[in-house]
Structure 1
């Protein structure tokens, strides 16, 4: 993946933080009286949903994350977990029960879902 220098940080970019994909929600440029410029960022971890706040120096860079979203459909449950189908390519993806168990009580077979591919 390509590295994104701190000067190119902006709202909406997807980067890797500690191996997890994150979406940048906010980036503030701060130039103190002395020293290097700083970038205060707020990001959402796309896997866990948690907020991450980090400060970077002007010479730092982050690895971009290859993340895209798609429309899907909940198909069925099998012995290994839950199966979802990508509506565009018709590929099926199986997710372990512990990853999606909390949200499954709201879905019925055939329900539309938003898929995050990483």
Structure 2
């Protein structure tokens, strides 16, 4: 589906210079002289390159629709992650860097959504929040005010997050996967 260059929004997947790109940031600019344009920061979904491109209103780009499929995370094998198609039970091996930092939050048996372009995996979406256990938390510093004083803690997956002073080692908490931040204490 063709769209105008100024209609690109963050999160849109477009075909540009023979590659598949995701619009990360956009900025609409209207200079004093000349026509308005859209400054778009693109990220290549195949090799991870970034590119800044100006699109004028007269230019059109091809918007790409990705297929989504339910998969289940099985295990890590070296720098590869193994997922299983929940419909066909077929296993797919993907490199860890396709997911990036959120890969640390993968748990055995976790349901994920895989985005595919022409049957080829492009990205993996994890749940927004997961439960994790604190394995190490710093002691509370006496005299610190309770308002907005957070302390560092390490989760069972090795990720470091800032938590409120009342959270201790062994506590189960809910963590935002993409922001890597404390949300609340787990029930």
**TMscore range, shorter length:** 0.5 to 0.7
- Max radius of gyration: which structure? 2
Structure 2 residue runs without a partner (length 5+): 75-80, 99-103, 118-187
RMSD between aligned residues: 3.1
- 1:25 is matched with 24
Q: Provide the C-alpha distance between the structure 1 equivalents of 2:35 and 2:89, rounded to a whole number of angstroms.
A: 48
Counterparts of residues 1-118 of structure 1 (less than 5 Å)? 2-73=1-72, 84-87=83-86, 89-90=87-88, 92=90, 100=95, 114-118=113-117
Equivalences, count: 107
Higher relative contact order (CA 8 A, sep 6+): 1
C-alpha spacing 1:48/1:69, structure 2 compared with 1 (3 Å) = farther
* Deviation of 1:15 (Å): 0.6
Question: Residue deviations 1:37-86, cap 9 Å, x none?
Answer: 111000111111222211111211110112134332467xxxxxx98532
Separation (CA, whole Å) in 2 of partners of 1:62 and 1:46: 16
Question: Residue 28 and residue 102 in structure 1: after superposition, are their counterparts in 2 closer, same or farther (change >3 A)?
Answer: closer
Q: For 2:4 and 2:113, locate their aligned partners in 1 and report how far apart those are by CA, in whole Å.
A: 30
Unpaired stretches in structure 1, ≥5 consecutive residues = 76-81
What TM-score, normalized to structure 1?
A: 0.66
Distance 2:57 2:2 in 1: 14
